Structure 1
């Protein structure tokens, strides 16, 4: 019996319905696994068709083409003499399942369906897939003719089983099964399964990478054994960015890991596992051994194949490693940058167009693009031919080699300061200095003539000419005058995005980047169809607080001094007339709440599932040192009024990189109505009642304290009559 085996976990940047590209990446991962000496290769969830096919899973074509790709894998000479585990959708008895298909030397050994679907956050798996409920049971699955002609198998086992080789036993979980409290890896470990694989499509959120790692480690800490986690990476056609972080754990320790963010489409890690370490650890854990002796058995599908090479005794086994977790600002610098790169190279466009205001939000967006250019240039310099080929395609130059991030940024990022009579010299200067620092192709335009023309048309038709509130107009006029500026900036953005490359003698167009942060979206502090309306938005899921932290990081990392001035400047829309050359409005004054308060509202509303009353009851405790119950009540009411009247804006918000767990994204993550009763009459009455109760209790408490310290006669005035 052998002792040591080499197993490989693949991280793939797949693309929904890109069957050609997905097949090539799978084959590349198998090649790299074999080069590492692995005899077993596993990959991420639904890797053949791509995870985010969504309603394409209702189409028979998706299942057919997945089988066709599997056929090419089965017959590929590269796949000989290595046990392979791939993910694809399978229809069994007219029911669709999310499955793993395990094969060896043109024989399918097992089709293992997912036991639990994921339906929270951005996931809606049960919309397309059912889960397998027959635990530890299998049925015959009749193979398509195109497969059975090659494998000479009419039926194969379908269900909850494990694979037994000559030297070990392998079990399988799929994504959500690891997160569930009734994870099947415990039962498999008790039944002697030594290697458990999890194929996942887990997306990134700020500060959440540790969760997966902790789950993988704990999966083998109590029950011992080896756990192989394989995850997708990249943007496969949706707002989410899959997290990478594939890893291998043995007896509670990580022994191999993949990167979280990377431009590599294929990354394969391997671990050399000493099976005797697993066996001795399990036997030493006596309570585990006693439970195992009475554990129900899984059906074992035996394959006459050894995972241990003949020279296994001279192999060095993998030792525990430390895991460095990226700070939130590092995650912002890398995650959205990789997301933008995937979107840019797959969209066929020639770069990005960004309205650059000189504020925190648009500056953050520009610096994320610059960070992307840094990453791309680094990969080109280390000899990544695929990245170089994509750069040349994007830039429309077959001989181009980027010499620096700034040079590349000048080719693929166009920034534009769109000023009006309400804009200050300071914001214009900050935008220019930032553009110079990162190398973007920068211009500035004045749109006052366009604004005036629109207002003249209105005046000719109606006979009225609106005024700003500071000049005698009413609030309605004031808001309309601000909105026309913001919407015209969107119109000019798309005009320039379509034609700027033409003026630079280059083919194609540009993707317009939005720069509204998650807090402003939650509050609805934006004009519908203004310059926040764009093709994609890399910061739409990131809070203002985190963006400021990110800018501090960029100031040091990229050595850009102008960032200091941008951070010091008060956030402002600059849509109202200046007063003696100075700003007349700031964002927080306009919103009636601070950005830190907005983050708190967002977390309570989404993560803690609070309505108005529940939110008030929580905040009246956490904010009691700074505000009275009445002040907190008014703050909560103000937020929910603003939320209600602006919720409709989320139906057209620019698709944004998902990063924050309280995102109000209407597409899938936050399924709430967009038409509300804005006065929340019942809910607000409940708040008022609770507020009165708190204030009454506070008065009574104050009276008691007074009576303790002073004679009764002196406290009469404090006692409510």
Structure 2
């Protein structure tokens, strides 16, 4: 899909390039740079960043003091400026600048036949293998200056330059600048830049690439920006060091694209950056806003205008399950950490209250299973016997043999104090008390059962001196898929910030990694059971008739919507578009739109339930606690959001 026609979505394709170079062979280098520009243009990149001193090559040594090389470099910059005419791409290329008897290591910013500005390197390394101060002066204090060059007058020159087109604001720094205590990019981003280009010449030694990648990723996260790193390659002199030509593109802590180092041809990588995502994160981050006062200069913003913002084929990866790491090892580590957070939280609450028992309703479903596993691990952690865990199964009108037997078997395998309380008679009596016909299977029929179960659990907790542990998860909170003062309520809610898509992996993690064969078999069957509240009568053959996802929609879609609505603050139109990319081939546009509309309606109308939720630990980046991350009036209108995707 091409994005240029999608209104209001500020995506931009950017590129990082490493041309094959020859030391001091400006003509050869110019030819390769032009070839890389052409490649970047062919994929609709709006920005391409080249390595440090790529016009001359980085390892020229004392040749940087030769006027012949400096003159050729200036001529090449002029040629590249002219080559940019008619091309809808911002070009950042490295070359020296000879001005007022000083030579600066610079980034030349070119667009459509003009040199828009020149950014000097701030920090000039002069240690170990680096001797740059022998040739170059620091540009750290160059602010507000201009320079005449290659027939062009008053070109802005300095570290205070930002280049702006619409929502995109570009800043540039050079190699060592990133390694400094306070990189210039930090000031540039505080001044407004949301995309940073680094023109670099960082040589290779063992493990340096790992550190470099982490530095780029970390700086993009701290600055809430995109960060493009372009390192010079194997064409540099190998007299004492070797350069690998590393190319990196990161966004807000996530590595979007990277190349394989030590390539023997010119390389160009590209990725699509989400400018709106970056800007929205900055709006949320109070510390970022407050830090703007430390910028040591007033930025000079140089405006230019793209003819179009078409990124070509939309190949930006969109994870359909943003709460669940796709890498198996990362996912396993995440599961361990979440269990540690949940158990630490519950242990603290038990120790603080002095309670030695926990009470939990077990349905044979995913959520209560996860909560029970957390309780069992917590009791082991604080050296309480599992017989102090009162597990209660509460069969009703819709309880099936499969869920019932799984609930009973799991409790017995875990060694808990198991109880069964059938709620059918109590519910029938309650129907009689309130004048409800039990043949009418409406919301009253369902909620009577949910509240009866909660009443029993609460009273058992009082009787035995325990805490009722809630089982509801984050996805159910978002949709309001709970009975108010029924399963909505508990004394501590261990699953409250675990989304449904992640609940599955947590249970599977225990089944596959942390338990015996018999318990694992039970857990795997629970995982294969459809998600259901079992509040409607079962079928004629004892099968489940009420499936949650048939009613509210697929949880994987709702978790996707939730992540981008709350975590990223995206508008419905943008969420709809991203969901189409993430779930292409699985759900069509009409289905995604339908369930997104359902999500918006339920998210807004069910806030009153979230406003009265019990305590529970935050485990991930999204939480709906009314005391923590999410403060929303219960009577807010959803029309503004819903109208965008009607």
The TM-score by the shorter chain falls in which range?
0.3 to 0.5
What TM-score, normalized by structure 2, do the two folds share? 0.47
